Amino acid sequence: MDCHVKDLNLAEEGLKRIEWAEMDMPVLRQIRERFAKEKPLKGKRISACLHVTTETANLVITLKEGGAEVYLTASNPLSTQDDVAAALVKYFDIPVFAIRGEDRETYYEHLRTVIEKEPDIVIDDGADLISTLHKEYPQLAEKVLGGMEETTTGVIRLRAMAEQGVLKFPIIAVNDAYTKHMFDNRYGTGQSTIDGILRATNRLIAGSYFVVAGYGWCGKGVAWRARGMGAIVIVTEVDPIKALEARMDGFLVMPMSEAAKLGDFFVTVTGNIHVIRKEHFEVMKDGAIVANSGHFNVEIDISALEEMAVEKREIRKEVTEYKLSDGRRIYLLAEGRLVNLAAAEGHPASVMDMSFSNQALSAEYIAKNPNSLENKVYRVPREIDEEVARLKLKSLNIQIDELTEEQKKYLSSWEIGT
């Protein structure tokens, strides 16, 4: 088969891990069963550029069950799991072009390889595939029915393309689906961040002061989970509405300058730069643990810490000890990179299940409505978002009420007053 993976002998290990993830992806499983019967993607070629993980494997297997001819390349050279790539090739006949640690040149070569398959539908994570397709293969871009984008960063790039009028096919921004970011940001980041901190430090959270910088979707997730483990949680915010929300949710709210004096753990999830900086390190307690779970490793001013430190050593895996001139020690996790990826395993499979179910249903939507969309960036259709929630509820064996005819009429009429 035309493919490029590290070692096919890894396939058996990869298969086991794909099956383990599948066990916790009940929504995608239900979609896969329907796809196997209805074959909604029959005759469609799909090129996907995603992190090559066990969860992604389950997505591409689902698309193939739906009748598509699928090609997979990596969206990041460092996230590829070589055993998964091997298993997809060996056991599922899905061509994969991804090797962990591949250089930039190979990465783009792989992108070009899946573009040259002349896809009808593309799936992207970060928009590298779609932007290369537009820049280097304009005539192939014309033939694409539509695409999906997984992340915020990618959606921003694609919106810029749409605004400049250069986008050659419609995009569905899977990132914007409610069922995606509710799980991804709140439950995924919430749990995996705590998981990373625990694996790195093995400290007890109960009874500690746990400072969460930022009370967006991710901050809420981390704050609620820290509380669940018995911490006294402090939230810092710059937005008065979010700060008020945090207070009304029962958290302590104060400026970082105050929180810095109290905290045993610090997690940044703001999306902003230098949220924890020199003035904060100066007042922290001996032994404070500082970690980042925001998208970029800029939230902690590491160079300030470097300058303040008189000694520095890796005391444990993913834990750097900075000794300050007065003897206090501050512990930075994962060098300020995303602690849930560096010290844990990223999102659990059931979180990716929601995101990838939106991907699978969006692919079906594009296949079934090829000419109804303009070359713009769309939100995931409400019906798809609701269908993902419905299938998740079904997997949890939860039933809910339906509107009665009387209620539907009541809600849709304006004549009935008080």
Of these, 170, 214, 221, 346, which contacts ligand XFA (CB under 6 A)? 346
Q: Does 345 bind ligand XFA (CB under 6 A)?
A: yes
Q: Does 58 bind ligand XFA (CB under 6 A)?
A: no
Q: Please identify, among the stretches 85-93, 202-210, 344-352, 370-378, the one whose residues bind ligand XFA according to the rule CB under 6 A.
A: 344-352
142 beta partners: none
Nearest-approach distance from CB 70 to ligand XFA, in angstroms? 16
Q: Does 73 bind ligand XFA (CB under 6 A)?
A: no
Q: Does 100 bind ligand XFA (CB under 6 A)?
A: no
Tokens of 18: 């794909």
Q: How far apart are CA 334 and CA 319, in angstroms?
A: 6
Nearest-approach distance from CB 293 to ligand XFA, in angstroms? 9
Nearest-approach distance from CB 144 to ligand XFA, in angstroms? 24
Nearest-approach distance from CB 198 to ligand XFA, in angstroms? 16
Of these, 53, 62, 179, 191, which contacts ligand XFA (CB under 6 A)? 53
> Which residue type sits at 368?
K
Of these, 30, 79, 113, 375, which contacts ligand XFA (CB under 6 A)? 79
Number of residues that bind ligand XFA (CB under 6 A): 18
Q: Are 149 and 176 in contact (CB under 8 A)?
A: no
Q: Does 341 bind ligand XFA (CB under 6 A)?
A: yes
Of these, 47, 151, 236, 359, which contacts ligand XFA (CB under 6 A)? 151
Cα–Cα separations (whole angstroms), residue 174 to 121, 205, 291, 343? 14, 34, 28, 27
Of these, 179, 201, 236, 340, which contacts ligand XFA (CB under 6 A)? 340
Tokens of 268: 């940044």
Q: How far apart are CA 245 and CA 50, in angstroms?
A: 35
Q: Are 364 and 66 in contact (CB under 8 A)?
A: yes
Q: Does 179 bind ligand XFA (CB under 6 A)?
A: no
Q: How far apart are CA 113 and CA 284, in angstroms?
A: 51
Tokens of 253: 């709210």
Q: Are 123 and 46 in contact (CB under 8 A)?
A: yes
Q: Does 199 bind ligand XFA (CB under 6 A)?
A: no
Residue nearer to ligand XFA on the CB measure, 17 or 390: 17
Give the DSSP H/E element, type plus range, for residue 12: helix 11-23
- Closest by CA position to 152, among listed 340, 346, 377: 377
Q: Does 55 bind ligand XFA (CB under 6 A)?
A: yes
Give the DSSP H/E element, type plus range, for residue 359: helix 349-368
**Strands 309-316 and 319-324: what pairing?**
antiparallel
Residue nearer to ligand XFA on the CB measure, 6 or 168: 6
**Strands 69-74 and 96-97: what pairing?**
parallel
Q: Does 352 bind ligand XFA (CB under 6 A)?
A: yes
Given the rule CB under 6 A, which residues bind ligand XFA? 51, 53-56, 76, 79, 81, 151, 192, 295, 338, 340-341, 345-347, 352
